[in-house]
Structure 1
Amino acid sequence: MPCSSIIRNAEKNDGSVAVDLLFSAGKYLLTEVFGMGHPDTAFDYLLSAWDKGGGQYGYQNHWVAETDGEITGLVSCWHNQLPEDFDRLTLASIVDHYGIDNALEIVMRSQRYLALLESPLFTELGIGHLAVSEKARRKGIGAALINFMEIKGQGMQKNALVLNCSVDNHGAIAFYKKLGFGVHRSNDQFVQMIKALQIGTGNAGER
C-alpha cells in the first residue's frame, strides 16, 4: 500500500465517493434487489442509507482507504458482535426510502439472494463491499484492506475470514487466492472463500 495511504473509519461526508465504491462492489446484485433492474434507483437508496449511518449500508460499518487525501478503497464486515439494532436500522433505511409496500417487496427479493450466500459462522469474520477505485488498483490497497480485516478478526478471536464472490468474477477469485484464500463452499451463482487466521490481539479500528 502506498506510504501516503491510511485506513480509517468511514464518515458520513465520505459518501460522495464511498457509495460509488460500495455500488461497484456488487452492482448487479444491488441493482436487482434495490433498483428493480435500474442502477440509478439502487444508487439513490445507497446514498440515503449511507447517510443514516447504521445498518448494512450505513457509513458506521465501513472503513475507507485514503491516499493523499482521496478515498481509494472501501470495506465492510459482518460478525456476531454487530450492534443489536443493526438489522432494524437496515430495514428502517429501506422503509424510509421506498415506503412500506415497496419495502416488503425489496426485503422478499433480498431474502431470495441471501439464501444463496453463505453467512459467516460465530468463529468467522465476514468481509463485504470490498472495492478499490480504478485509478488506485494494482497498488496494494485491496491487499491492505484485507490485511486490516485480518488484524480486526484476530482481535475479535475469529478463526477465519470469509467472503462471497460471484462464480463468474474470475479476476476477484484469483486475487483472493493470491492472498491465501481458498474455496470453501459454492453454488451456481456464488462461491464462499475462506482464509484461516492466527488468533492474536490485533486491533484494527474502533468499530
Structure 2
Amino acid sequence: MPLTFRRARPTDVDAAIPLIYSSGPDAFDYAFARPGRSSATDFLRHAFLQGSGQFGWRQHWVGEQDGQVLAAGTAFGGEVNLGYMLAATRQILGYFGLASPAVMVRGLQLERIICPPPRRTLYLAHLGVAPERRGEGLGSQLIDHFLHCGRHAGLPMAALDVSVANPRAQALYERLGFSVQVERPSTLPGVASHRYMQRPL
C-alpha cells in the first residue's frame, strides 16, 4: 500500500521525532545528548516545534498510511546552509544555555564527517521509517518522493550521507541509483565514519 506524503505539522512531533532520530542516533547523541540531564530526542523535539532550520517541522515531510505516520525526512540544497546554521545556533542557545558552546563545538566536529551540502544539490536527510514496517519498500517511496521534488525544482543532482555502520541503508541507496563518492573517517567517540553518496536527477 503506497504512502501518502504531506508537509509535517507541529502535531506530528510524537511520531516524527523517533523517525528523525533513527536516521543517525550516534551522531545526534554525540551532538545533543547530556547524560543524566537530557537526551538528543529532547533537543530534537524542541527544535522541531520551533519550526525553523533543518530540524524544524516546516522543513520535514511525513508519509502516512491510514492516518498513521510511518516515514519522515527532509531534503534541501546548499543554498540554505547559512540560514540553517543561524537557526540551529538560536535553537541551541535557547535550549542548552551556558552549555551551548560545547554543543556547537561537537556540531562543528560532526560537520567534518557529515558535511553541509553543495549548492544546486538536493540533499536528503533525517530519513526514517517505522521499525516495524522496514523492509516493505516504504524507504524507497520516501526517497522517490524527494527525488521527484528535486526534479520538479530543476536540480541536477541528489546526495545523502550514510553511516558505514548501516550497510542495509547503503544497499537501498545503491539500488536507487546512488553511488559512494567519498568516505569521511571518524575519530569521534561512538560516531562511525560516513560515506557521501550521489546520483543524477
TM-score, scaled relative to structure 1: 0.87
**Which residue number corresponds to residue 197 of structure 2?**
193
- Taking a change above 3 Å as real, the CA distance of residues 39 and 170 of structure 1, as seen in their structure-2 partners, is farther
Amino acid at match of 1:150: L
Taking the aligned partners of 2:165 and 2:83, their CA distance within structure 1 comes to 34
**Which residue number corresponds to residue 164 of structure 2?**
167
Q: Work out whether residues 78 and 116 of structure 2, in 8 Å CA contact, stay in contact via their aligned partners in 1.
A: no
Q: Work out whether residues 125 and 161 of structure 1, in 8 Å CA contact, stay in contact via their aligned partners in 2.
A: yes
Taking the aligned partners of 1:110 and 1:84, their CA distance within structure 2 comes to 14
Q: Work out whether residues 31 and 39 of structure 1, in 8 Å CA contact, stay in contact via their aligned partners in 2.
A: no
**Which residue number corresponds to residue 201 of structure 1?**
none
CA offset digits 1:10-43 (Å, max 9, x no partner): 0000000100111111111101110045795211
Taking the aligned partners of 1:116 and 1:171, their CA distance within structure 2 comes to 20
The 5 Å alignment of 1:1-207 reads: 2-3=1-2, 5-36=3-34, 40-82=38-80, 85-99=83-97, 101-188=98-185, 189-197=193-201
Q: CA deviation at 1:191?
A: 0.3
Amino acid at match of 2:120: T
User: Kindly, what percent of the aligned residue pairs are identical?
Assistant: 25
- Taking a change above 3 Å as real, the CA distance of residues 83 and 122 of structure 1, as seen in their structure-2 partners, is closer
Q: CA deviation at 1:179?
A: 1.2
Taking the aligned partners of 1:39 and 1:113, their CA distance within structure 2 comes to 22
- Taking a change above 3 Å as real, the CA distance of residues 35 and 83 of structure 1, as seen in their structure-2 partners, is closer
Taking the aligned partners of 1:110 and 1:144, their CA distance within structure 2 comes to 30
CA offset digits 1:96-142 (Å, max 9, x no partner): 1111x211110111101101223322221111000100122222211
Taking the aligned partners of 2:109 and 2:37, their CA distance within structure 1 comes to 19
Say which SS state the counterpart of residue 8 (structure 1) adopts.
strand
Output the aligned Cα RMSD: 1.8
Amino acid at match of 2:105: M
Taking the aligned partners of 2:85 and 2:107, their CA distance within structure 1 comes to 13
Mean Cα deviation higher: 81-90 or 171-180:
81-90
Say which SS state the counterpart of residue 5 (structure 2) adopts.
strand
Unpaired runs of 5+ in structure 1? Answer: 198-207
- Taking a change above 3 Å as real, the CA distance of residues 82 and 166 of structure 1, as seen in their structure-2 partners, is same
Q: Work out whether residues 31 and 38 of structure 1, in 8 Å CA contact, stay in contact via their aligned partners in 2.
A: no
Taking the aligned partners of 1:85 and 1:168, their CA distance within structure 2 comes to 30
Amino acid at match of 1:92: R
Amino acid at match of 1:93: Q
Q: CA deviation at 1:77?
A: 1.7
Paired positions, count: 194
Mean Cα deviation higher: 111-120 or 19-28:
111-120
Unpaired runs of 5+ in structure 2? Answer: 186-192
Q: Work out whether residues 162 and 194 of structure 1, in 8 Å CA contact, stay in contact via their aligned partners in 2.
A: yes
